[in-house]
Amino acid sequence: MRIAIAQDGNQVSGHFGHCENYAIFDVEDSIIYRRDDLPNPGHEPGRLPVFLAEHGVNQIIAGGMGPRAVELFRENGIGVLLGISGNVDYIAQDYIAGRLVPGESSCHHEDGGECSGHH
């Protein structure tokens, strides 16, 4: 399994598309055996789900994303977990252990525009 966590510094990013990079965790038998940081290639509608799918990601974890992005990730075979905050390394461990509880997405696209609070 390959998990991507949207990351700013060592914290989960509030918006998957505007993060600095993605912490990529390779997991086998509930053990992380590799971690890499994958730079965000830039926020372009529809591009990131395909980009992460091309890198073998099965699960994305972020503070938030809009409903269309969630749909595109799922169409690319990537599970989505939102409303998450905290240190990415601890979040990865909690996810693997089944202790990660999703919250409400920090991103709201009521008007189809960008996330509130990210400008």
Q: What's the CA gap between 26 and 30, in Å, rounded?
A: 10
pLDDT score for 116: 39
Phi and psi torsions of 86, nearest 5°: 130, -175
Average pLDDT for 47-72? 95
pLDDT score for 101: 87
Q: What structural domains and CATH numbers belong to the chain?
A: 1-27+58-101 (3.30.420.130)
Percent of the chain whose predicted confidence (pLDDT) is above 70: 88
Q: Give the tokens for residue 24.
A: 């990529």
CA 92, 1, 103 angle in degrees (round to 5)? 40
User: Which pTM does this prediction carry?
Assistant: 0.88
